[in-house]
Structure 1
Amino acid sequence: MRNAEVLLKPFGNIPLRHHTVLSVLNGYKTPNNKISRWLDEGVLLPLKRGMYVVSPEVSGKPVAHLLVANVLYGPSCVSLDYALWHYGLIPEAVFEVTSVTPRRSRQLDTGVGHFAYYHVPEILYPIGMQSVAATGGGYCLLATPAKALCERLLLTRQLRVHSVKSMQAFLLEDMRFDDTEAEMIALETIAFYQQSGHKTELFTQLYWAIQQWQRQS
């Protein structure tokens, strides 16, 4: 373990590709065997074929799930329920890291958790996206609160909401959205979704529902 700390700790919690790990083992006759042992011992945690992250016990830093999500499948941006939970807008912990992508949807199981990617129209993908510092180092793409909320509604099937009252009921009862934090939601982002031609009525009701809460605060 001491040897692993010396060689791998400098990488922190940044996802590593196979050739990067090989580069620190250039003095070993069988570096691939060493990597296999590190995986068996939990020194390296597998993300996907040829990609790993150093165990927190070795790196001294927590796994940066936001950063891992970006690297595993891209282009992608962490959004939907995981982002809403990250901001404290919904109460229940979300253990599946959810992202949006202009590519096809995909589900990935890794040594650090489950990652889900959901397709959104390419025109909507960059709206409300921001680059933020990940825990322990590096930067990742994360949806703003408004983007995460809009995409949650966009991807909810058979959601029929035709009034401000029913929209607020859905947010409060089905999503357990914290309306006292409505100020976090940028109305101009909702307006972009509203004008995109996708679920126009739904986003219209969302716009007025959030605006009403903001005026009451």
Structure 2
Amino acid sequence: MNNPLQRLGNIPVTASILESFFPHIKRGNQKVRLLERDKQIIRLKKGLYVCNPEITGKTLSAELIANHLYAPSYVSMSSALRYYGLIPETVYTMQSMTLKHSKDFDTPLGRFEYTNMTKKAFSVGLTSIRKEDYAFVMATPEKALCDLIANSPKVNIRYLKNAGTYLEEDIRMELEDFRQMNAEIFEEYIKVGKKADSIRTLLKLLKK
């Protein structure tokens, strides 16, 4: 008999959804605990779980989990830049921006960090990355770069030379890739985001 959990794929679900798969069991919460004990599900935080990929045959997506773990949020900064292949270093923490208070989660699947930002800046430069049977929200490359600069305390880009050094040496981004970016997103971010002067210098380098 097929395991009903197979239908979940890699989508994070609440305890109540898990309980609905076993309506014949009166104490559904006890069933959830047993599923966790038997490693059929993985607990992300209180009340939120994801099915073991050995059962579903679906690879887990850290980006999708990040969206569900603390919402509303989107994947950004180094995590997004690495996803796009714009920086070479492996990023071991999944970084996201949120409208809620900044918060960190340590899960069996890794560490997830969320940084607060304003509502006006939140909506600039977002994209939905679609896969076969799911999708997640991520910053565009431009927005991810802006978020990274805006939330790096020691970064202050005053001159064009500083901008080039930051890109090539600090985060090791190829200037050729940077020059393919959309100036309009930087312009929108300057109006509503933090460190407008630093982003403005970056924009000057892009338009040079």
- Which category of TM-score, normalised to the shorter sequence, fits these structures? over 0.9
Task: Name the CA distance, whole Å, in 2 between partners of 1:184 and 1:74.
Answer: 31
TM-score by length of 2: 0.93
Matches within 5 A, 1:133-148: 133-134=130-131, 137-148=133-144
For residues 120 and 175 of structure 1, what CA distance do their matches in structure 2 show? 22
In structure 1, the residue matched to 2:171 is 175
Q: Identify the residue that residue 85 of structure 2 maps to in structure 1.
A: 88
- Give the Cα separation in 2 of the matches to 1:160 and 1:80: 16
1:64 deviates by 1.6
Q: 23, 26, 29: which one pairs with 2:23?
A: 26
Matches for 1:1-217 after TM superposition, within 5 Å = 6-134=3-131, 137-196=133-192, 198-212=194-208
Instruction: Give how far 1:206 is off.
Output: 0.6
Deviation at 1:29, TM superposition (A): 4.8
Distance (whole Å) between structure 1 residues aligned to residue 156 and residue 200 of structure 2: 13
**Which AA in structure 2 matches 1:186?**
N
Deviation of 1:101 (Å) = 1.2
Aligned residue identity for 1:191: E
How many angstroms does 1:184 deviate by?
A: 4.2
How many Å apart are 1:150 and its aligned residue? 0.5
Q: Conserved in 2, the CA contact under 8 Å of 1:13 and 1:64?
A: yes
Task: State the 4+ residue runs in structure 1 displaced beyond 6 angstroms.
Answer: none
Q: Post-superposition shift, 1:60?
A: 0.5
- The 2-side partners of 1:198 and 1:71 are apart by 26
**TM-score between both structures, scaled by the size of structure 1:** 0.89
Residues 19, 31 of structure 2: 8 Å contact kept: no
Using the alignment, how far apart are the partners of 2:6 and 2:166 within structure 1?
A: 46
Instruction: Give the aligned residue type for 1:84.
Output: L
Aligned length: 208
Deviation per CA, 1:73-95, whole angstroms, max 9, x where unpaired? Answer: 11111111100000001111112
Asked if the contact 1:154–1:199 (Cα under 8 Å) also holds between the matched residues in 2, the reply is: yes
What is the RMSD of the two structures over their aligned residues, measured on CA atoms?
1.7
- Cα distance between partner residues in 1 of 2:90 and 2:154: 25
In the alignment, the residues of structure 1 paired with residue 145 and residue 153 of structure 2 have an alpha-carbon distance, to the nearest angstrom, of 14
3-state SS, counterpart of residue 89 of structure 2: coil
Quote how far apart the aligned CAs of 1:183 are.
4.3
Where structure 1 has 5 or more consecutive residues not aligned to the other structure, the ranges are: 213-217
- 1:137 deviation in Å? 2.4
The AA in structure 1 aligned to 2:155 is L
Alpha-carbon distance in 2 for matches of 1:118, 1:37: 34
**What residue ranges of structure 2 are gaps of 5+ in the alignment?**
none
State the distance in 1 between where 2:88 and 2:152 align: 19
